[in-house]
Each structure stands twice: as structure tokens, then as C-alpha cells.
Amino acid sequence: MRIVVQNQKGGVGKTTTARNLASALLHQSLARSVVLADLDPQAHLTQMLPEIEPSSGADVADWLSGKVVHAAQVKGEPGLRLLRGGAQVAPSSIGPVMPVGADWVIVDTAPGWSDLTVTLCGWADLVLCPLEPDFLGLSGVARLCERFAEHGLALDKLRFLLCRHSARLNLHRDVQARLMERFGSTQLLPVTISNSVRISESAGFGRSIIAHAPEGACASEFLALARLLAGSPPPEPERSVA
């Protein structure tokens, strides 16, 4: 599975989504090897995984040049690998191939839109768009759909994920209803990600939300997101023994 995490607006949770989705897939044995590719020039995803040796494995420039590459293993999370960010990536890159041993690749893109974004969205099986449920979030969705149409990209690849969501807020419910009316339950994912300080804490400690706060709502939400994207049914509830 090839997933590109994209939103032209910054600060919507792309990096957080990519990092925690990868761990959620591995935690539930839905994937054997997940490679994270850090395409943001600020390399925040790389910084969230501090146990990576600076010189180990390939970087995103190597990968996008079309080379067959080995991604660096993330310490403490078997199966999680990283294509390091921070490298200069040429817009004329000929396109990526699956890294050695990977069965999932999750690409954390930079905000904005470029020729490279077009290439990656065409290459992806799914384009996951995290957004906040507000007016600016709706505006970003409209722009993304316009870009897809301009470049002949398949709109049915798009999946929308509401982040920092609260069902108690009228605005959030209204935005969710508008997106549901336009895209339906297939493209607007039924899983939402709550607003939680635990997410920020986990990034600072270099851990996934599942490792940092396994009993919290956000961990459960990312686990559910992973099952949904992997096409797996939810786990059956535990039955009490009389």
C-alpha cells in the first residue's frame, strides 16, 4: 500500500498522522514493514524519530531519483523504517519505487503544491488528507480537489481525516456534515482524531501515541484508522467469563 499524506495547508496534522498510522499498522500486525518518507524540508518527521543514525539508510532524494534503496530501521520499533528528510529534492525526479522489504510506504509531504506532489499523488494508492473541521479546512479541501482536477488525478483516491475533532462543537459537526454530503462515507473517513496534549507529548519523547498513552482516545483512534485503511474488521469485544 502506498499512501501520500497531503494537504496544501500547513499545521493540520500531516506529520502526526503519518508517524502514528505507521506504528498503528505494525502494532496490530497489519503490516510487516512500514517505510516513512519525510518530504517536508523542515524534516519534522525525521526529528520525531531521534534514534535514527544520521548516516544510516537512504534519504528521500535517493528514493525519488528512482534508486532501489534501503530505509533506516527505527530503534525500538521493529518493522518501522525511515527515508530521512532534509535533503534537496529535485522537482524533475523520475519517481519512486518501493523501498527494499517494504509492504507499506507512507509519505509525509510538504505544505503547498508542486510538480513533485503531482507525481506522488499519481503514484499513490490513496491520498490521505488530514484537516481541521473549520472554514479553512473546507477551503483547503476545495483547493485540493481543484488541483486534482487540473492535473487529471483520480479524485476517488482521496480520503479525508478530521483531526483535532470534537463532537461537542457545533462547527465541527457542521463541517463533518458538509463533507459527508459531498464525499460520502467512503472518502470522509468515519474515524476522527481527537485534540489531545498527549499527541504533542509523544512527539517530544520520540514515541508513537500508542506507546506513550496506549489507553487514551487518540491511541484507539489511530488503531482504528489503521484497521480501516488496511481493510481489516475491528476486534471483537472481550467477553466476560461467568
Q: What is the 3-state secondary structure (H, E, C) of the chain?
A: CEEEECCCCCCCCHHHHHHHHHHHHHHCCCCCCEEEEECCCCCHHHHCCCCCCCCCCCEHHHHHCCCCCCCEECCCCCCEEEEECCCCCCCCCCCCCCCCCCCEEEEECCCCCCHHHHHHHHHCCEEEEEECCCHHHHHHHHHHHHHHHHCCCCHHHEEEEECCECCCCHHHHHHHHHHHHHHHHHHECCCCCECCHHHHHHHHCCCCHHHHCCCCHHHHHHHHHHHHHHCCCCCCCCCCCC
Q: What is the pLDDT of residues 3-21, one digit of tens each?
A: 999 999 888 899 999 999 9
Residue 53: the pLDDT is 67
Fold for the domain defined by 2-230: Rossmann fold (3.40.50)
> Would you kindly state where each structural domain of the chain is located, as residue ranges?
2-230
Residue 88: the pLDDT is 73
HSE on the CB side for 19, CA within 13 Å? 28
112: cell is 503547498
Residue 156: the pLDDT is 95
164: cell is 483535532
Residue 238: the pLDDT is 46
> Which residue numbers in the chain have pLDDT < 70?
50, 53-55, 90-95, 232-242
Residue 221: the pLDDT is 97
Residue 201: the pLDDT is 92
* The model's pTM: 0.92
Residue 90: the pLDDT is 67
